[in-house]
Amino acid sequence: MKSEHLDATFAALADPTRRAILARLALGETTPTELAKPFDMSLPAVSKHLKVLEHAGLISRGRAAQARPCRLEAKRLKEAAEWMDRYRRFWEASFDRLDVFLDELKKEKSRGGQK
């Protein structure tokens, strides 16, 4: 998990249009022209967002000169999700509290056994 990858991934994800483009590509690969339609955006505006996503490795582009279809790439999203996972215990604190409670219960029990 490279720090520069995370920089580029999170910066690319910090825009609602780029997240919407990824959501569209999650349904299947498509061309920039098709991508521009539902977003009511000009092709140059979409192309700018696609460049950011491609630079971050979140999408790849086909070689066909005219169309250059875009495809979602999951690897960098996986890295970012793995980074997030380190913090999972903070929002799953209720489980932590349950663990503490169960540990206490075990200690109580073993203390009881020693009496």
Residues that bind its own copies (CB under 8 A): 3, 6-11, 13-16, 19, 22-23, 26, 72, 74-75, 77-78, 80-81, 83-88, 90-91, 93
- Nearest distance in Å: CB 106, its own copies: 25
- Nearest distance in Å: CB 109, its own copies: 30
Q: How many CB atoms lie within 10 A of CB 20?
A: 14
Residue whose tokens read 């780029």? 18
Q: Which is nearer to its own copies, 90 or 109 (CB)?
A: 90
Q: Which is nearer to its own copies, 98 or 105 (CB)?
A: 98
Q: Which is nearer to its own copies, 16 or 112 (CB)?
A: 16
Q: Which is nearer to its own copies, 11 or 98 (CB)?
A: 11
- Nearest distance in Å: CB 75, its own copies: 7
Rg of the chain taking only CA atoms, in angstroms: 23
Measured between alpha carbons, how far is residue 56 from residues 80, 90, 106, 108 in Å?
11, 28, 48, 52
- Nearest distance in Å: CB 10, its own copies: 4
Reading the block at residue 72, the tokens are: 């979602």
